[in-house]
Amino acid sequence: MNALIREQFPILHQEINGHPLVYLDNAATSQKPRAVIDAVTRYYEWENANVHRGVHTLGSRATDAYEGAREKVARFLHAKSTEEIIFTRGTTTALNLVASSYARSVCGPGDEIVLTEMEHHSNLIPWQQVALAVGATLKYIPIQPDGTINLDDVEKTVTSRTKIVAIAHVSNVMGVVHPVKAIGEIAHKNGAVIVVDGAQSTPHMKVDVQDLDCDFYTLSGHKMCAPTGIGALYGKKALLQKMEPIEFGGEMINDVGLYESTWKELPWKFEGGTPIIAGAVGLGAAIDFLEEIGMDEIERHESRLAAYAIDRLDEIDGITLYGPRERKVGLITFNLGDVHPHDVATVLDTQGIAIRAGHHCCQPLMRWLKVSSTARASFYLYNTEEDIDRLVSALIQTKEFFGDAT
């Protein structure tokens, strides 16, 4: 599928430092296809106006484009209705909305919020802030050496005091796909809700929020071919209805008095201020693009690439790979002997290869892995086996360059 797909990403066809670009930092952000770039341009050239207010033609076009994008997100996640889709800036904002609104209203002293130590900071700090504010307790499901978690451990960690279980569907470091449906069943049995961080799952696999029976689910558009600055929160209608907005102002009100006001119905009560209209249009176009290729096909492509990459990386002496051997998502975190990951990434960049190095916004996980940082190569639908071959030979050269350090 690749040559045709790669054609559609203008940014991939350039040289970086004298070499054809190999972009392997997709877990940080994905590149954008022509269809998305054109949709945003067309929106600004033909439809731009503020939404939900203008009686003029451009106002209706912009509103239709924005609300049309919401329908696409609802369909993409298989939500029951568009009322369950709140546009946000991304996963971070979506999780903060659930923490600040839902969690603060249901958690009191002694109540529990259950997480894992491998959460991205955006699925950790908001819950810490709630726990500190209301006197709730944070508990962590133990992690197995390969980054998976056991359902038995989930059973032991979640209790009748647990109000929220918050977990990433796919870890941005270990590449593990967690069994969120089964974890949700355990949460529900104990009267808790499950909040799923979908930042690393939605770009790479089919997600069905009704089948998963999750209470909240998030996505970040920029990781799935859409522009930066747009994402979404899915929430079950009954929960969202009970929640209070956390941002107040224009757009989200029904009636405003001098001393009190009332809110619009779902989903708009959570979207105070002029929304991210062009971003939503771009997200809608990205969803069309991904669905045309097929999420199952994308997942198959990436799991093939991941298997190939693990086999090839294994050839390198002294490399440590983190996470399970078998994986569905093309995301591989590693260390090259004692060479600092930043040095690895810097040398690779001189050869036109973009990977990420650092703590990946997972400092507790780095401590658990007993490393200060790691390197990470993450793939997407436009990556090829040749990209992985380039990565492997550059890593071998890096190792030779640093000699004794490995």
Specify the long-range contacts of residues 126-133, CB closer than 8 Å, at least 24 apart. 126/95, 126/96, 126/98, 126/99, 126/100, 127/99, 127/103, 127/164, 127/166, 129/99, 130/99, 130/100, 130/103, 130/104, 131/107, 133/104
Q: How far apart are CA 63 and CA 52, in angstroms?
A: 6
Please list, in sequence order, all residues whose beta carbon lies within 8 angstroms of the beta carbon of residue 108, skipping any fewer than 6 positions away: 134, 135, 136
- The answer to whether residue 31 forms part of the interface with ligand 7TS (CB under 6 A) is no
Nearer to ligand 7TS, 122 or 351 (CB): 122
- In the complex, minimum distance from the CB of residue 90 to ligand 7TS, in angstroms, rounded to a whole number: 3
Q: How far apart are CA 281 and CA 299, in angstroms?
A: 24
Please list, in sequence order, all residues whose beta carbon lies within 8 angstroms of the beta carbon of residue 67, skipping any fewer than 6 positions away: 51, 82
Q: How far apart are CA 336 and CA 117, in angstroms?
A: 24
Q: Kindly write down the DSSP assignment for every residue of 5-43, as one continuous string.
A: HHHT-GGGSSEETTEE-EE-BTTT-----HHHHHHHHHI
Question: What is the CA angle 33-281-75, rounded to 5?
Answer: 95
- In the complex, minimum distance from the CB of residue 199 to ligand 7TS, in angstroms, rounded to a whole number: 4
Q: Which of 92, 96, 351, 373 binds ligand 7TS (CB under 6 A)?
A: 92
Half-sphere exposure of 243 (CA within 13 A, CB side): 26
Nearer to ligand 7TS, 33 or 229 (CB): 229
Site for ligand 7TS in 186-225 (CB under 6 A): 197, 199-200, 220
3-state secondary structure of 218: strand
Site for ligand 7TS in 301-330 (CB under 6 A): none
Q: How far apart are CA 376 and CA 221, in angstroms?
A: 21
Q: Which of 90, 203, 341, 352 binds ligand 7TS (CB under 6 A)?
A: 90
In this structure, what token pair is assigned to residue 88?
């946000």
Nearer to ligand 7TS, 199 or 319 (CB): 199
Nearer to ligand 7TS, 136 or 224 (CB): 224
Q: Which of 32, 70, 72, 120 binds ligand 7TS (CB under 6 A)?
A: 120
- In the complex, minimum distance from the CB of residue 308 to ligand 7TS, in angstroms, rounded to a whole number: 22
- In the complex, minimum distance from the CB of residue 324 to ligand 7TS, in angstroms, rounded to a whole number: 16
3-state secondary structure of 50: coil
Active site residue 362: no
Q: Which of 30, 101, 122, 202 binds ligand 7TS (CB under 6 A)?
A: 122
Binding mask 244-273 for ligand 7TS (x = CB under 6 A): ------------------------------
In this structure, what token pair is assigned to residue 155?
């059973």
Half-sphere exposure of 117 (CA within 13 A, CB side): 17
Q: What is the DSSP letter of 99?
A: I
- In the complex, minimum distance from the CB of residue 28 to ligand 7TS, in angstroms, rounded to a whole number: 3
- The answer to whether residue 123 forms part of the interface with ligand 7TS (CB under 6 A) is yes
CB atoms under 10 Å from CB of 250, counted, come to 13
Site for ligand 7TS in 137-176 (CB under 6 A): 168, 172
In this structure, what token pair is assigned to residue 282?
């771009």
Interacting stretch for ligand 7TS, rule CB under 6 A, among 11-19, 88-96, 282-290, 336-344?
88-96
In this structure, what token pair is assigned to residue 72?
């696409």
- The answer to whether residue 360 forms part of the interface with ligand 7TS (CB under 6 A) is yes
Binding mask 374-403 for ligand 7TS (x = CB under 6 A): ------------------------------
Nearer to ligand 7TS, 9 or 217 (CB): 217
Nearer to ligand 7TS, 101 or 378 (CB): 378
Total site size for ligand 7TS, rule CB under 6 A: 17
Q: How far apart are CA 291 and CA 278, in angstroms?
A: 20
- In the complex, minimum distance from the CB of residue 180 to ligand 7TS, in angstroms, rounded to a whole number: 12
- In the complex, minimum distance from the CB of residue 123 to ligand 7TS, in angstroms, rounded to a whole number: 6
Interacting stretch for ligand 7TS, rule CB under 6 A, among 64-72, 176-184, 335-343, 354-362?
354-362
Q: Which of 107, 214, 225, 361 is catalytic?
A: 361
- Annotated catalytic residues are 361
Using CB under 6 A as the criterion, which residues of the chain lie in contact with ligand 7TS when the complex forms?
27-28, 90-92, 120, 122-123, 168, 172, 197, 199-200, 220, 356, 360-361
